[in-house]
Amino acid sequence: MTAFWCLVRRDLRLAFRRGGDSVNVMIFFLLTITLFPFGVGPEQAILMRIAPGVIWVAALLAAMLSLDGLFRGDFDDGSLDLMILGPLPLEMIVLAKCLAHWLATGLPLVIVAPLLAVLLSMDGEGFTTLIGAMLLGTPILSLVGAIGAGLTVSLRGGGVLISLLVLPLYIPVLIFGVGAVDAAVYGLAARPHILILGAMLIAALPLCAWASAAALRLSVE
């Protein structure tokens, strides 16, 4: 277990030193969302209606931006080989890297999301649900993304390919994420949506770790 946390700490330190990824993802998220009032007009009723969907779609796209780097750095400089030789199973290496990736890029999205909800004049009722749904949903984005990142790590310029592989898999998260917030805004029960998001997260933990590790094994050959 020490190796697990050691890897998480190192990845966070690297993310913090470079800074680029986390900040880029946040700025992308902010910019995309501020485009909408310009695009659809400042009419409050329309913005209120589309706010949950816009925030979630922007979050999916933002999360995808940083996926290419999830394994690429360690693959290119040979670190991944040495990690595999170490005491940690590859599945746990994937989970550690996903956790660090989420802390560095997913969590900041959750933190700024309420601010953007205000910008889109979303109803205050939905704020806690939005945060809750994103806390459950954004780790799924990192985990599912790890499959795409693992498959494309040995390809040059695999960035676009990742989007094509991963975006369709993000649809369930989008549906239930938006569903939860919509339900809360309209005074319906958000609980079922949240529970399904939670179930998806629990299922994604082992499944994505396994699939991503299998993809990485092929890439390391």
Partner 1 sequence: MARGLACVRGGRRVFDSVDFAVAPGGALLLHGANGSGKTSLLRIVAGFLDPAGGELTWNGRPFEDEDHDPDGASFGIAYVGHLDAVKRALSVAENLTFWADYYGSGVTVAGALDRLGIGHLASLPARFLSAGQRRRLGLARLLAAPASLWLLDEPTVTLDEDSIAIVEALIAEHRADGGMVMVATHAGMSLPEAGILTLGAAS
> What residues line the site for partner 1 (CB under 8 A)?
2-3, 6-7, 10, 13-14, 17-18, 73, 76-79, 81-88, 220-221
Identity of the residue, 43 or 76, whose beta carbon is nearer to partner 1 in the bound complex: 76
Identity of the residue, 98 or 144, whose beta carbon is nearer to partner 1 in the bound complex: 98
Q: Which two tokens stand for residue 143?
A: 């985990």
Shortest Å, Cβ 63 to partner 1: 22
Residues in the chain: 221
DSSP-based three-state secondary structure for 118: helix
Nearest to 136 by CA among 191, 83, 210: 191
Shortest Å, Cβ 76 to partner 1: 8
Identity of the residue, 86 or 192, whose beta carbon is nearer to partner 1 in the bound complex: 86
Identity of the residue, 6 or 111, whose beta carbon is nearer to partner 1 in the bound complex: 6
Residues 6+ apart with CB under 8 A from 116: 29, 30, 33, 55, 58
Shortest Å, Cβ 198 to partner 1: 31
Q: What is the spatial distance between Cα 60 and Cα 162, in angstroms, rounded to a whole number?
A: 13
Shortest Å, Cβ 74 to partner 1: 8
Burial class (CB in 10 A: 0-12, 13-18, 19+), 48: middle
